[in-house]
A and B are shown apart, each in its own frame.
Chain A
Amino acid sequence: MKPAIQRRLFLLGALLVAGGALGVIAWGGIGDNLVYFWTPAQVAANADKAVGATIRLGGVVQAGTVHWEQDQQLLTFTVGESTVDTKTPLQVEAKSAPPQMFREGIGVVVEGTMRTDGVFSADKVMVKHSNEYRAPTGEADVKKLYATVEDL
C-alpha cells in the first residue's frame, strides 16, 4: 500500500475507534445522569428507579401538611396529584425556607431524590404563580406546570 493510503486508513481507523469509544461512554454517562419529570403517582409507579435518581417532582401542596422548622431550616410538606390526593401523596423534606409564594394548594416543582424511607428529599423548591393561575387538577395540568416552573 502507498504510504498516503496507509495513513488515511490509519486515520480513519483511529477516528472510528475514538468515535465509538466516545459514543459508548457518552451513552453510559447520559443514562446515569438523567433527570426525570414525575408526578407523585409516577414516582410511586417507578419506586424501584426512584431512589437515588434525580427527579423533578411536580404536584400540588396538600392542605394542612406544611410545616417549617425555622431553627433547622427544615421545610416539610406533602405533594399530591391534585388539590386533594388520597391515593399517592408524597412526603417531601427540603432544607430551605418556603419560597415567597409557597402555600397550601399551590403547584410546586421540587428537585431532589427519593430516600429509602419513602420521603422525597428536595434540594430545590420552585413555585410559579401567574395571573391566570389555578391549581392543577390532573396530569395534563401538571405537565403545563413544568413548563412554567422550569425557568426558575
Chain B
Amino acid sequence: MISILGRTAILVALAACMVGAVAGLYGGARRSADAARWARAMAWTFFGATLVGVGLMEFALLTHDFSVHYVAEVGSRSSPTWITVVSLWSSLSGSILFWAFILGAYAAAQAWYTRKRYPEHSSYAMGMTLVVGVFFSFLVAGDANPFTPVSPVPLDGPGPNPLLQNHMLMVVHPPMLYLGYVGMTVPFAMGAAALLAGRITPAWSRALRNAMLVPWGFLTLGIILGGWWSYDVLGWGGYWAWDPVENASFLPWLTSTAFLHSAMLMERKDQLKGWTLTLLMGSFLLTILGTFMTRSGVFNSVHSFTQSPIGPIFLTFLALVLTFSVLLLAARIDKLSPPRDGLNGPASRDTAIMAQNLLFAAFTFTVLLGTTWPLINEAISGEKISVGGPYFNKWGVPLSFMLVFLMGVGPALPWGRASLDAVVKRFLVPLGIAVLVVAGCAAMGWTKPWPLAVFGVSAFAAVITLQEMAAPGLARWRKKGGNLATALVQASLRTRRRQAGYVVHLGVVLVAIGVAGSSGWRNVEQLTLRPGETGKAGRYSLTYVEHRTDKDSHRSSELARIHVATDDADLGFLEPRMNTYPRMGSPLPAPAVRSVPGEDLYLSIVKIDTKTGLLSFQAVIQPLVWWIWFGGLVMALGAALAAWPSRRRSTARLAHAKPDTAGVAASVKAST
C-alpha cells in the first residue's frame, strides 16, 4: 500500500517539475506573468509531493513495513526509534528521496521569496530550479526508488550501517550537508536566469548573494559537523584526512566562499560579472561532482555509500550541466553590461578580494587535482594509488595562511583607492599585536614554525576584524556622545550585513587557531594495562579501573572505565568502548573524549580482552581542538545573521503596489 502511494507521490513530483520547468522557462522568455505563476504553483506541488513521499517513508520505517524495499534494506525491529527515524538518510535510495524533498523545500522557498519581485529574472530562475528537480525526481522514480515493493516480505531487516549508528551526530550532520549541497541549486538557477535574461541588475546580484549565503552556512556547518563526527566515531583521533568525500564537500565550499566575496564587487561596482557567475556555476557543478563521488562507489571512503547504479546517471547529468553552463556563459557574457570604469588602486579592498579569489581558485585546483588524480592515474596506468595527505597539506597550509592574512588586510582597506600612508598606519597596531603573540608563544616554548605563523596571522586578522566591527559604533559615539554600548549596538544593527561578515571572519580565525594548534602538537601514546594498573600519557595519569559489558537491543559493548588525573587535579572518568553489532562481524571502537578549550584527551580502545580485561588503547592528546567546533558554530551564526531577512516584508508589500519598478527600487534601498 505504502509502495503504491509513495511511487504515486514521486510521479506527481516528477510531473510537477516537468510542467513547472517548461512554464518557468517560457515565462522568462516571453515575460509571461501567468506562466511564472504556473511555475511557482508547480514548485509548491513539487514540495508537497516530496513531503508526502518523505512522510510515507518515515511512516513505513517507524511501522517496520518491510514490504517496502528501503525499509527491508535499512530497517530493523531492534533499532532504537531515533536510529529508525534517521535511517531515512543512512543509505542511498532513502537519501536521494530526502534530497529531493530538500530541493522541494528550497523550490517552495524560492517561489515564496520571488513571488512579487524580480519579474525579469524570477520566472527563469524558477524554471531552472525545477529542471534540476526533474533530474532528482527522475532518479527517485527510477534507479534509486526506495518504494519498490519487496516480495516475499522479510520479517526483520539488518538495520543501518553500524558506523552510522555509532553516534548522535548522524542526526544532524547529513541533513546539514544536504541543505548546503541542495541549496546551491537556487543560486545556480538564479545565475543561469541572469545569463538567460542577458542582464543583471544590482537588486538581482544582491538577491543572488543572499541566496548563496543560506546554503553556504549549512555547508560550513555540515563540513564542521562531519569533522566532528569522524573525530568522535572513527577512533584515530583526527577530524580531517583529505579523504575524497571530505574533499567533495570542501570543493564547493571553496568556490562558493570565493563567490560570496567577488559578488560584492559585482553588486557594488558591476565588476567581475563573468568571473563571479563562473564561480557560481562551478560551485553547483562541484556539488554534483561531489554527489557523484559519494554515491557512485568510485571512491572508498568512510562517508560514502556503497556501489550503486546511479553513478553513470550522475556523470551524464554533470556533463550536461557543464556543457550548458559553458555554452550559456560563452553566449551571454558579453550581453551583461560592460563594467563601469573601475581601475582599482593597488592597495584597495577590491584588489584584496581579487587576490583572495585567485588564492581560492588555486586552492580549488589543488584539491580537485589531488582528489581526482587516483581516478585519472588508474584509467591511464591501471595502477591503484591514492594521493596522500602530505600533498594537500603542502599546498593547503600556505594557501590558508595567505587567506587568513588577506582576511585581515582586506577589511582594513577602503574600496577603490587608498593612500599608502593611511594603510600603513592602520596596520601598525594589529601587526604589533601579531608580533607580540608570536613572541609570547615562542617564549612559552611553542616553536613549530607553521602553527606559530598561523597564530600570528590569526591574531592580526582578529584585531583588524574587531577594529572594523567597532569602528561604526565608535564614530557614532564620538559624534553624538551618550552610552558607548548603545552606540555600538545601534551602529552594528544598521550595518548588520557587514558585521555578520566579520562574525564569520572571527569564526574562521578560531578554526584556523584550532587546526594549527591541534595538528602542530598532536601527541599519541599507546598503552596496555591490566585492570587496576595506571599508565602515563603526557601529563595525565590514566588508571584502568574496571571493564564491563553492556547489552542493548541492537548491539553489545565492552566498556573500559578509566580514571583520569593530572598532578594537581582529578578529572573524573572516561569510558571508551568497543561496540559489536550483529550485522557486522568486526567490532567498532567508540572513543571517549575529554574536550576543554585548552586541550583534548582522546581515548580509543585498540583491543580489549573480554575475559582477562587486558586493555590496549590509544591516548591522543591534542590542544585547541575545541576551538574548531566553536569556530564552526560562530561561522554558521555569522552566515545566519547575514542571510536573515529584515525589512523585507515591508519592501515586498511596497513592490506589490507597483510591481515593476518599485520592487527594484525598494530592494536597492534596503541594501544601503
Contact = CB atoms under 8 A, between A and B. Distances in A.
Contacts of A37: 384-386
B472 interface: no
B394 A33 contact: yes
Contact of A127 (B369, B395, B586): B586
A131 B607 contact: no
Nearest to A150: B300
B365 A22 contact: yes
Contacts of A128: 586
B526 A99 contact: no
A34 B384 contact: no
B434 interface: no
A101 interface: yes
Contacts of A143: 384
Nearest to A37: B384
A147 B606 contact: no
Interface stretch (A24-32, A59-67, A81-89, A114-122): A24-32
Contacts of B152: none
B398 to A, nearest CB: 11
Interface of B: 163, 234, 300-302, 304, 358, 362, 365-366, 369-370, 373, 383-391, 394-395, 526, 528, 578, 583-587, 589, 605-608, 616-617
Interface in A101-146: 101-102, 127-131, 133, 143, 146
Given A35-B387, A97-B606, 13 more contacts: A26-B395, A29-B391, A30-B369, A37-B384, A37-B386, A96-B606, A97-B526, A97-B617, A100-B608, A130-B586, A150-B300, A151-B304, A152-B234
A97 B386 contact: no
A70 to B, nearest CB: 5
Contacts of B583: 131
B587 A30 contact: no
Give the 7 A-B CB pairs with smallest separation, nearest first: A97-B616, A33-B391, A150-B300, A129-B586, A33-B388, A37-B384, A129-B585
Contact of A99 (B234, B358, B385, B606): B606
Nearest to B301: A151
B606 A22 contact: no
Nearest to A133: B585
A25 B589 CA distance: 39
Interface residues of A, number: 37
A35 B386 contact: yes
A98 B607 contact: yes
A71 B616 CA distance: 12
B607 A100 contact: yes
Nearest to A72: B526
B387 A33 contact: yes
A97 B524 CA distance: 13
A143 B383 CA distance: 12
A99 B391 contact: no
Interface of A: 18-19, 22, 25-26, 29-30, 32-37, 54, 56, 70, 73, 95-102, 127-131, 133, 143, 146-147, 150-152
A35 B377 CA distance: 12
A56 B374 CA distance: 14
Contacts of B301: 150-151
Contact of B300 (A18, A32, A151): A151
Nearest to B589: A100
A102 B607 CA distance: 9
Nearest to B395: A29
Nearest to A7: B343
A56 to B, nearest CB: 8
A80 to B, nearest CB: 19
B607 A33 contact: no
A97 B387 contact: no
A25 B365 CA distance: 12
19 contacts: A18-B358, A26-B395, A32-B391, A33-B390, A33-B394, A34-B386, A34-B387, A70-B528, A97-B617, A100-B578, A100-B589, A101-B586, A129-B585, A131-B584, A131-B585, A146-B300, A146-B384, A147-B300, A151-B304
A23 B528 CA distance: 47
Given A37-B384, A97-B606, A99-B606, A73 B586 contact: no
Contacts of B606: 96-100
Contact of B394 (A19, A29, A34, A56): A29
Given A30-B373, A34-B386, A54-B388, A96 B584 contact: no
Contacts of A147: 300
A56 B300 CA distance: 14
Contacts of A95: 526
A2 to B, nearest CB: 13
Contact of B388 (A34, A70, A98): A34
A18 B391 contact: no
A73 B370 contact: no
B52 to A, nearest CB: 35
Nearest to B339: A4
Contacts of B391: 29-30, 32-33
A37 B585 CA distance: 24
A22 B387 contact: no
B362 A22 contact: yes
A129 B578 CA distance: 15
B385 A22 contact: no
A151 B163 contact: yes
Interface centre among B301, B384, B578 (most CB of A within 10 A): B384
A99 to B, nearest CB: 6
A18 B373 contact: no
A37 B387 CA distance: 11
Nearest to B608: A100
B339 to A, nearest CB: 10
A102 B383 CA distance: 28
B385 A35 contact: yes
Nearest to A123: B524
A50 B492 CA distance: 59
A101 B610 CA distance: 12
B425 to A, nearest CB: 30
Contacts of B358: 18
Given A22-B365, A147-B300, A73 B386 contact: no
Given A30-B391, A129-B586, A97 B370 contact: no
